[in-house]
Chain A
């Protein structure tokens, strides 16, 4: 029906964006929580920073196509922007950079591996993207060394735990509901079931 088979189909795009918009709402609600935790000091807030990368991890795990990680992160952050994020336009630009770095990691694995390791690496990639932006915006290199080490460690650990490990467990649970079957090609088990 379509002449262009390359790239994402409308169904993939729409599903990615719908998932991303759900997380856009969560991203928006995460802002006040992040600020509240930030009051505790010692960069405890960085431990929950990783939630802002989960849209790209989950879209990649569920839809498994090139480009969805970037698209999901852009869609989630623009959803957050449109809902009036407390960081304003910043979230959109952070979203683009974070999504891009996660996408690069997934591209390095040629969109073939969907395990905790690769998704965690994707989260680490997104973290690097966010740090590049922070470097320009917040002069983080000017923090005292022990403080900066704590900051970096907390953000990386949080990212791996939330957007890596937790995203995989969430994706597995969603797979069990069977909704992802709709865009997966029939597996060998399905053919065996027919032959029985």
Chain B
């Protein structure tokens, strides 16, 4: 989705988008059910390596993309560390009560947020939205009226941004004070939304006239299938999870094997 950033096409770009989505969703649930921090740290590190060397983006772009994830890591972890329940007290300072259990649970949750974030980032950095929706139609039989509606809606975004600017200038010219919380949200949201709805209605009429709403057989401009990289993709993630699990159980960093 990063149109403005140039990137090298890697093998991850070549994998089938539907397959990639399914594998990553499965991994998402797998990560939710990992309660051993050693395993989770291994998984996060492996995903981080893949994020750095597999997505084909320059290092400075990767840094800025990663920064918010780091903040989520810190904020998720600290809340559990300071307010979680536990028995082995380390620090007690007013309402803040850090225990060994809550500390490691906090670390675990932080790494989990990191792993989940990286999964999504790897997906969105290496998948072109157009290919994703064409693949969803061809492999997962998503109805064309849904897929093309999505694609049309994404195309409307730049127009909306332009309208947002126009409204801003119009309000400025009329001397409307640029403050107020929810009333300000409304001032922008109502014209933006109503214009978008009008435009959506017009586009829908045009699309219906071109039979985009039909349920008959369609041919596709982009034919998306499977290739050798898909095998590699599945094999890599299976190996990654296995190694992370094996190493986490047999060569732990810390002696806790379940944070619950």
Residues of B within 8 A of A79 (CB): 154
Q: Are B121 and A18 in contact (CB under 8 A)?
A: no
Bound form: Cα–Cα A178–B72 in Å:
42
Please name the residue on chain A nearest to B150 by beta carbon.
A17
Bound form: Cα–Cα A69–B238 in Å:
36
Q: Are A90 and B85 in contact (CB under 8 A)?
A: no
Residues of A within 8 A of B259 (CB): 139
Q: Are A35 and B68 in contact (CB under 8 A)?
A: yes
- Which residue of B32, B129, B146, B198 contacts A136 across the interface (Cβ within 8 Å)? B32
Task: Provide the A135-162 mask, 1 if CB < 8 A to any CB of B, else 0.
Answer: 0111100111001000000000000000
Residue A186 at the B interface, CB < 8 A? no
Nearest Cβ in chain A — how far from B193, in angstroms?
6
Residue A116 at the B interface, CB < 8 A? no
Given contacts A9-B213, A88-B118, A166-B182, contact A25 B157 (CB under 8 A): yes
- Which residue of A10, A75, A138, A139 contacts B204 across the interface (Cβ within 8 Å)? A10
Residue A22 at the B interface, CB < 8 A? yes
Q: Are A22 and B160 in contact (CB under 8 A)?
A: yes
Chain B interface main SS type: helix
Task: Name B77-117 residues within 8 Å CB distance of A.
Answer: 79-80, 83-85, 97, 102, 105, 109, 112-113, 116-117
- Which residue of A62, A142, A169, A179 contacts B85 across the interface (Cβ within 8 Å)? A142
Bound form: Cα–Cα A182–B201 in Å:
8
Task: Provide the B117-151 mask, 1 if CB < 8 A to any CB of A, else 0.
Answer: 11111011100010000000000000001100110
Task: Name A25-43 residues within 8 Å CB distance of B.
Answer: 25, 31-32, 35, 38-39, 41
Bound form: Cα–Cα A10–B140 in Å:
19
Q: List 15 A-B contacts (CB under 8 A).
A: A1-B208, A2-B213, A10-B204, A14-B149, A15-B204, A18-B196, A19-B193, A21-B157, A32-B68, A82-B129, A88-B69, A88-B123, A89-B24, A139-B105, A142-B80
What residues of chain A have their CB less than 8 Å away from a CB belonging to chain B? 1-4, 9-11, 13-15, 17-22, 25, 31-32, 35, 38-39, 41, 62, 75, 78-79, 81-93, 136-139, 142-144, 147, 166, 169-170, 173-174, 177, 179-180, 182-183
